[in-house]
Structure 1
Amino acid sequence: MADLIVFGFCVAIVIGASAWFHRQEVMAADAARVASGPAGCVALSSTDTRLRLGVAGLTLIALLGIVVLGGSWALLLLTVAYIGIRYSLFALFRQHAQSSQLGLLFDAVKAPEIKQAEIAFFFSGIDLAEPQHLQMWKASLDSLGRPWLAVLSEVHHRAFFGGDDMPPAILVNDASLFGGVLPPPTKLVFYANNAQKNRAMIAANPQVLHVQLLHGDSDEPPSYSVLTKIYDFVFVAGQMAVDRYRDNGVIIPEERFRIVGRPQFAAIKSGPDRVHDGTAPIIGYMPTWRGFYEDSQFSSLDRAARVIEGIRETTPNAKIVFKPHPLSYKDPDWARYKAAITAALGPHGRFADQASEPFDIYNEVDTLITDISSVMIDFLFSGKPLIVVLPELYTSENAWRYPSLGAAYLVDAKLENLTEILTAANTDDPMRAKRLEMQKYAFGDYGRPPGEAFVETVQALLGENAQKQLTERANPDE
């Protein structure tokens, strides 16, 4: 009886260990994967699989034989021996998977869906759960009608690729392999942030042009970062963005800028789509997140409940749509802010769905309240009244840093003129002419369909640079 109990225990151990080691091998293969398609993936061969099943089968047969002959200790020793053999097979496979990345990368670049790519989009965002900067530009790159691929440097972003609605992707988290990630036809590499790994990608691929797109246009420091000097070209929305670099002491030669507008604005309805009753407007409020540093503290989130209460007092019939910045949900004080905001919103206000796009809010509302951020410039395209809550750090001496404010109604940091501003924006709207003037300055493609200038500019670069003309990249530390 004791032998049967030990036998049952050992069989369970063998079967359980087999399943566990198999799962670990699948995970090791997945960790070594370098492409979203079938190429670039290490896997167990049919011989490897048969070997593993054979070892497990022989072990189970031997266990059955031993229980017939008797001997609990022999059962246990055989089980331990199986686990040792199975672990050795797993360790060898894991080592093989880890050492195969260079070969896998070589195979992936030759895959049919990748080898024709003329454009690559390099994305690194360690702290971002999703590849949102790439997602922002995907439709614009698709509109080019040219094959392109995504180059990822963080494993957790690979899960978003592989479907028919996404481009082929290559994952390379080892910067020493960046030089082998581009297929021969590739002429342009796009970036939408200034991640640290961008420098390594540029250094490893001097044969192509490197273009910074960024992921929004604002008067905040990321929109005039000195790191932008390392790219061959910088795509900007309009002349205001070019002047912003110069005015903040970041000197980039004029010929390296390309004014392309904001292709994403195709989703924004330009101009009011209805005549609203000034006594019952739909007012959106989209504060930015609270920055980590004093010089990037532009948020009015800490005063959001007071802003909403001010709207209620000035325009009791207004419908309010509140959408915080996604990073605000991680704010240590978010629970307290949310409770106060919810109470202030009351029955005629609501939180926008977290999955909703900012452009959906722009199209829905009659007036928008926000902070100094990319939301401010994006909403400017709509032509509707824009109200900006000024940060504490704003003074008349540093007003030149925020040219976009010239088209907005300005609420002081203490909210003392909120009532006056709300009344003006929702009635006579005296800033209307100023917004039109600022639109032409901010958006170089004003009057043209959004995205048209972007397509023309990219097509020109692809045509002119079959053989790359090297540019002298400035050192951002100089």
Structure 2
Amino acid sequence: MSIFEVVLRQSQLMSRKIHAVAVEKRVARTLRNNLPGPSETVDFVVFFAEGPAQSYQLEQWLAPFEALQRSGHGVCLVLMNALTAELVTRRTGLPVLLSRSMERIETALASWGTSGIFYVNNSQANFTMLRISGPAHVHLSHGESEKSSMVSNQLKAYDFAFIAGRAARTRILEGIPRFDPAKLVEIGRPQLDIPAACSPVHPPAGRTNVLYAPTWEGDGKSMAYSSITTVAARLVEAMLADGRFSVVFRPHPKTGTWSATARRELARIEKAIEAAAARDKDAGHRVEVAGDSSLSIMGSDIVVCDISAMAMDAIGLDRPLMLLHSTDTPMIRELDPEQALSLDEAAEDLLEGNGRDTLDTVARMAADGPSARQRSLRDEVFGDPALGRPTERFIAAAIAVTGADIQA
């Protein structure tokens, strides 16, 4: 990232913060009627300090917390950004406390008798919230993946970390020295309950529906898992030129936030898809940037993605997976060789063979369905895959680790 890009990014962030502060009073007034009173019991709060650009991290946990509320427990979202609050309240009926004052937040939690505070990321603001003693502090994360961020030493700061399954347990205990294994609670992936019960969207007749979902470029070398800056545009253009495929492109919400190259490649891909869709309106080519990403997986015949939560969710939802990668991971070693394609291999095929080998493999894998080796990973990654079980496990775990009494 150049100095110019750093300055530009910082100025954009400051502009958004100023905008959020400017509308805070107006947004707070709209939330007031839905806010729990000081004498009400709010067993659980979800703390989120980020702006709307990161709201996807919180939004994927809304349905599990709505289920927790329906089980008879008080739940409230505690947000520090007015623009995030305005966005989130359009997507959930859960009450929201909007405040940038830790004193006000601490007073509210004390009056509500809150038993548990949940976090969906490792924002620096979390560690101000962690000063509150009494409630259990629980880290949730916002996806299950093999990215280096999943083994952050910051996990030690929380009382508990809810994880998907045995694979995450192994990853954390092997990657974080002196981590207490008693802090890890396996719950599966509640976010997959809803899409797994939905009917998939069928692609145009005679075409294979390919979901290409690259992750963002990352904010450093340790997080550089994305194919967006290397092979993405050439891969998409090759698939668009091949009548066998209907291409659904779903970039990570943060794509282009750190890299000018990523922004340029993103624009190139979007332009190519728009042009292809205009040429053949029945082909089904499109860009998806909103809605539940798991539903995009369910609507696909095959998922092509990088090392990210999308890869794990494809396994959980039993969709064939082709993983583009630049580094070795345990999951890559467990998949069939043709399911794990290095970025160097993909680049060579796209340059020298116009992607023929890669696209033939994609078509064959989509027709064959998930490999036996991929299916064997599902229990290792998520535990019991039965519909409804992860949400049930999440609710039971929330009650158990916080000591919250059932009110229903």
- 1:45-444 alignment, distance < 5 Å: 110-111=37-38, 115-126=40-51, 128-129=52-53, 131-144=55-68, 145=71, 146-160=73-87, 165-182=92-109, 183-203=111-131, 205-269=132-196, 280-302=207-229, 303-311=231-239, 316-328=243-255, 330=257, 331-333=262-264, 334-340=266-272, 342=274, 347=280, 348-391=283-326, 394=327, 399=328, 401-403=329-331, 406-407=334-335, 409-414=339-344, 415=346, 416=349, 418-419=358-359, 421-428=361-368, 432-444=371-383
Which segments of 5 or more consecutive residues in structure 2 lack a partner in the other structure?
A: 1-21, 350-356
Q: Which of 365, 375, 392 pairs up with 1:452?
A: 392
SS of match in other structure, 1:207: coil
Offset of 1:160 from its aligned partner?
A: 3.7
Distance 1:460 1:213 in 2: 15
The answer to whether the Cα contact below 8 Å between 1:37 and 1:168 also exists between their aligned partners in 2 is no
How many residues are matched? Answer: 359
The answer to whether the Cα contact below 8 Å between 2:240 and 2:273 also exists between their aligned partners in 1 is no
The answer to whether the Cα contact below 8 Å between 2:62 and 2:92 also exists between their aligned partners in 1 is no
Q: Which AA in structure 2 matches 1:413?
A: L
The answer to whether the Cα contact below 8 Å between 2:160 and 2:184 also exists between their aligned partners in 1 is yes
The answer to whether the Cα contact below 8 Å between 2:249 and 2:288 also exists between their aligned partners in 1 is no
Q: Which AA in structure 2 matches 1:254?
A: P
SS of match in other structure, 2:117: strand
Distance 1:276 1:192, change over 3 A: closer
Distance 2:391 2:135 in 1: 23
Distance 2:30 2:24 in 1: 12
The answer to whether the Cα contact below 8 Å between 1:212 and 1:228 also exists between their aligned partners in 2 is yes
TM-score when normalising by structure 2: 0.77
Offset of 1:388 from its aligned partner?
A: 1.1
Could you list the per-position Cα deviations for residues 212-256 of structure 1 after superposition, in whole angstroms to 9, with x for gaps in the alignment?
111111111221111111100100111111111122235421111
Could you list the per-position Cα deviations for residues 71-126 of structure 1 after superposition, in whole angstroms to 9, with x for gaps in the alignment?
xxxxxxxxxxxxxxxxxxxxxxxxxxxxxxxxxxxxx77446xx311111111114
Determine which structure has greater relative contact order: mean sequence separation of CA pairs < 8 Å that are 6+ residues apart, divided by chain length: 2
The answer to whether the Cα contact below 8 Å between 1:150 and 1:170 also exists between their aligned partners in 2 is yes
Could you list the per-position Cα deviations for residues 160-193 of structure 1 after superposition, in whole angstroms to 9, with x for gaps in the alignment?
4667942222222133544323034210111101
Distance 1:35 1:243, change over 3 A: farther
For the pair shown, which has the larger CA radius of gyration, 1 or 2? 1
C-alpha RMSD over aligned residues: 3.4
Q: Which AA in structure 2 matches 1:317?
A: R
Identity %: 23
Q: Which AA in structure 1 matches 2:156?
A: K
Offset of 1:352 from its aligned partner?
A: 3.1
Could you list the per-position Cα deviations for residues 387-432 of structure 1 after superposition, in whole angstroms to 9, with x for gaps in the alignment?
01123xx2xxxx2x44366236012213135245325413445x62
Distance 1:212 1:424, change over 3 A: same
Distance 1:340 1:294 in 2: 29
The answer to whether the Cα contact below 8 Å between 1:123 and 1:151 also exists between their aligned partners in 2 is yes
The match for 2:12 is: none
The answer to whether the Cα contact below 8 Å between 2:80 and 2:100 also exists between their aligned partners in 1 is yes
The answer to whether the Cα contact below 8 Å between 2:203 and 2:246 also exists between their aligned partners in 1 is no
Q: Which AA in structure 2 matches 1:197?
A: A
Offset of 1:329 from its aligned partner?
A: 5.8
SS of match in other structure, 2:291: coil
Distance 2:308 2:134 in 1: 35
Distance 2:234 2:302 in 1: 18
SS of match in other structure, 1:181: helix
Distance 1:279 1:406, change over 3 A: farther
Distance 1:342 1:299, change over 3 A: farther
The answer to whether the Cα contact below 8 Å between 1:305 and 1:344 also exists between their aligned partners in 2 is no
The answer to whether the Cα contact below 8 Å between 1:305 and 1:341 also exists between their aligned partners in 2 is no
Distance 1:423 1:366 in 2: 9
Q: Which 10-residue stretch deviates more, 367-376 or 326-335?
A: 326-335
Offset of 1:32 from its aligned partner?
A: 10
Distance 1:276 1:212, change over 3 A: same
